[in-house]
Amino acid sequence: MDLALTQEQSMIQETARRFAEDVLAPRAADLDRTQDLQVLKDNLSQLAELGFMGLNVDADYGGTQAGAVAFSLAVTEVARACASTAVTMSVTNMVGEVIQAIGSEAQKQTYLPKLCSGEYAAGSFCLSEAEAGSDPANMKATATRDGDAWILNGAKQWISSAEYAGVFVVWAVTDKQAPKGKGISCFLVPADTPGIRIGKAEDKMGQKASATNEVVFENCRIPADALMGKENDGFRIAVAELAGGRIGIGSLALGIGQAAMDYARQYLLERKQFAQPLANFQGLQWMLADEYTNLEAARMLLMNAAWRKQSGLSFAKEASMAKVFASEKANAACYTALQMLGGNGYIKEYPLERFTRDARVTSIYEGTSEIQRVIIARELLREIS
């Protein structure tokens, strides 16, 4: 693995950093407080103009075609400023990648340009259900063939960006008699299709400006060509694409953790106790050293997973390693940074309490830390079996 970034990757990282600092950071606290959808949509529209909503999508379909490494770098920089914007960007990029990987040519031509250009503010995955989160193969939503159409019925839970998404990638059971996980198919469903009902946005602990909704399909009729990939092969697709999403969420977590520690580091130089800067105290110095070391290790794991994906190598184990490590170390970094600020860290005037709330979910969505460890162990044992 060559650790040096290409000229294009460096340019994308720097562009993302400048946009995050100049546009996203000044808005982030108010956006967290107000959850103003128009402000979020403006953030997303500007990201689309920069080419950041289709970083790994081919140029033929309006994408940037920059690869998985550039995607990881960009998500990290955006998350340093606004996690709510970053998660929408990450998920939309992954929706585009799924369509590109398994969609028909007509599906690619129809939907990818709209995602990449910002005509669609976002794309959403409809996989999880109330009793099918960590165990998505247990889903109950169904798609029943009816002549030249499919009829979707069921409810999906915790769907990011649902209320402003332009298109949904939906998984549903198409063969009830098949063994668990074998009779599931994947569909591409425009958000304006009759029979779709979007529930109210969940009142979340963090990443509050990113809407998370229930999506209900009630006799939702979609054409036969809405099927993506092969019938009853959808679960395999879901498992494969979730691995790529874990690189995105790990990168997002890294960005939050870095933002928290960068703020705390500056604070240590400026804040005085016992007539000297906090930075002079060895205990705080060691905390600083440990957290930055952990974040650098997380960055290396993410770069390795992204590089393997970009190189066409297996990367599921590496993506899970990167995601569990980055998300847990980002959470630890946020709590350590908050502790460094003392009472000020607990006050909303300072950004640490927001960073801490935003980081918490990264060890839950796109596969919990516990599920990542199951995947890692399974792959390790498979390698020697």
Q: Given the structure tokens 């990113």, which residue do they identify?
A: 210
Element (H, E) at 149: strand 149-160
Closest CA to 206 of 364, 366, 18: 364
Instruction: Provide the Cα torsion 303, 304, 305, 310; round to 10°.
Output: 80
pLDDT in tens, 34-86: 999 999 999 999 999 999 999 999 999 999 999 999 999 999 999 999 999 99
Please report the domains of the chain, with CATH numbers, ordered by start residue.
Answer: 7-120 (1.10.540.10), 125-232 (2.40.110.10), 236-384 (1.20.140.10)
pLDDT score of 241 more than 80: no
The string of DSSP letters for 102-146 reads: H--HHHHHHHHHHHHHTSSSEEEEE--BTTBSS-GGG---EEEEE
Q: Cα separation of 17 and 14, whole Å?
A: 5
pLDDT of 234 reads 87
Q: Is the dihedral of CA 252, 253, 258, 259 positive or negative?
A: positive
Contact 228, 236 (CB under 8 A): no
Q: Which pTM value belongs to this model?
A: 0.96
Please give the DSSP secondary-structure letter assigned to residue 5.
Answer: P
pLDDT score of 176 more than 90: yes
Known catalytic residues?
366
Q: Cα separation of 373 and 360, whole Å?
A: 18
Band of residue 289 on the pLDDT scale cut at 50, 70, 90: very high
Beta bridge partners of residue 42, listed in sequence order: none
What radius of gyration do the chain's Cα atoms show? 21
pLDDT in tens, 73-94: 999 999 999 999 999 999 999 9
Q: Is the dihedral of CA 254, 308, 117, 51 positive or negative?
A: positive
Contact 57, 96 (CB under 8 A): yes
pLDDT score of 215 more than 90: yes
147 φ/ψ angles, rounded to the nearest 5 degrees: 65, -120
Q: Given the structure tokens 């697709």, which residue do they identify?
A: 237
Closest CA to 68 of 373, 360, 362, 322: 322
**HSE-CB for 107 with a 13 A CA cutoff:** 25
pLDDT score of 309 more than 90: yes
Sheet strands (E) in the chain: 122-126, 142-146, 149-160, 165-173, 184-190, 196-198, 212-223, 227-228, 272-273, 276-277
pLDDT of 300 reads 98
Element (H, E) at 80: helix 68-81
Q: For the chain, how are helix, strand and coil distributed in percent, rounded to 5?
A: 60, 15, 25
Q: Cα separation of 100 and 57, whole Å?
A: 7
Mean pLDDT of 318-324: 98
- Report the share of the chain in percent with pLDDT over 70: 100
pLDDT of 3 reads 78
Contact 189, 226 (CB under 8 A): yes
Task: Say how many C-beta atoms besides its own lie within 10 A of residue 358's C-beta.
Answer: 33
**HSE-CB for 44 with a 13 A CA cutoff:** 34
**What is residue 65's three-state secondary structure?**
coil
Q: Cα separation of 330 and 286, whole Å?
A: 17
- Report the share of the chain in percent with pLDDT over 90: 92
Q: Cα separation of 150 and 156, whole Å?
A: 17
pLDDT in tens, 347-381: 999 999 999 999 999 999 999 999 999 999 999 99
Q: Cα separation of 22 and 345, whole Å?
A: 24
CA 17 centroid distance within chain: 18
Structure tokens at 193: 């299709």
Closest CA to 359 of 265, 252, 215, 273: 252
Average pLDDT, the chain: 96
Band of residue 1 on the pLDDT scale cut at 50, 70, 90: low
Beta-sheet pairing, 227-228 with 184-190: antiparallel
pLDDT in tens, 103-149: 999 999 999 999 999 999 999 999 999 988 888 889 999 999 999 99
Please give the DSSP secondary-structure letter assigned to residue 21.
Answer: I
Identity of the residue numbered 332: A
